[in-house]
Copies of this chain bind each other. A is one copy, B any other.
Amino acid sequence: MPEKIETGVFKTTHQPSIISSAAIVGGKEGKGPLGQYFDKVVEDSHFGQKTWEKAESKFQLEAVSTAIRKAGITKEQLDVIFSGDLINQCIGSAYGLRELEIPFMGLYGACSTMAEGLLMSAVYTDSGVAERAVAVTSSHFSTAERQFRYPLSYGGQRTPTSQWTCTGSGAVVVDINGKGPRIAGGCIGKIADMGINDINNMGAAMAPAAAETIRRYLSAVEANPSDFDYIVTGDLGITGSELLIELLENQGIMINDRHRDCGAMIFDAEKQDTHAGGSGCGCSASVLCGYFLPKLKSGEIKRILFAATGALMSPMACQQGETIPSISHLVEIRGDI
């Protein structure tokens, strides 16, 4: 059963295991530096569907189905599924997962959703509400672009700090009794808003939230950055990552030698013209599921922090002159060795 260490920070007692994970990504992500690590690369951005929104739903269903298959279980053995995405009213999740008939809890954490779902899965399994839980999320370049920015056909100019929304989905199955990387604890994020209102610079808006969450967790569990192989952030991108390192350095926390950002990793910014890097719920989800979790499983790495970051604004809020509130949730994951 989980134990509160301080406000919003807890450790698990039984250390629930991530018994399987799956990452399904789009063509551009498949051509990036991590292409070989994903379970499936789908070249068709419509994934055989009539709309991009329906395609995003299919990405999510495919990721969950693959994770279930890899876990060697049936969907009836799942007690709850935690899911959310960026599309208005989270339709990527609801429509994607409705046919599964698994108890469903919708989340909204923007690009922090994978970490929020992992926190939830850890709490629900470690406490006994569930034996097995799924956390999943997705994003799609075209659904996000036309909802948050411009019609796809408009071809708007991108600024150097802008990020490229990843097409993809990542899903994990968490089991209280299984084998696999273990969720040792977590930190629930607080909303941070430093007054940034440039929707083409999400990395800068989200970096303070990530810095504060990482600081709170390290302090609560009395750990140092050097205790971890990697401190992984969601999708700060290149600009946001530099800011994060600086913000933590100012507080005497040096993470630059072990910090990795999923947004900075998933594309080759120069060759793929993605400017400050990747973003979207599916970015950190697919990089965690495809790249980091297998390394924890194989024993190649032993302990990481995974802090996904989300910008909680909407186009309407920005049109109304609002700044960008951000959040970062964190889980500690250890190899099962």
Where the two chains meet, the residues of A that have a C-beta atom closer than 8 Å to any C-beta of B are: 1-4, 7-8, 10, 50-51, 53-54, 76, 78-80, 84, 86-91, 93-95, 97-98, 101-110, 116, 119-120, 123-124, 126-131, 187-191, 193, 312-317, 320, 322, 325, 327, 329
Contact = CB atoms under 8 A, between A and B. Distances in A.
A109 B93 CA distance: 11
B127 A79 contact: no
How many copies altogether? Answer: 2
17 contacts: A2-B128, A2-B129, A7-B103, A8-B79, A51-B320, A88-B88, A89-B317, A91-B313, A97-B191, A98-B193, A101-B190, A105-B120, A106-B327, A107-B107, A123-B124, A123-B127, A127-B129
A190 B102 contact: yes
A88 B8 contact: no
B8 A191 contact: no
Contacts of A1: 1, 127-128
Nearest to A314: B89
Contact of A108 (B2, B108, B325): B108
Contacts of A54: 320
A191 B104 contact: yes
A188 B83 CA distance: 13
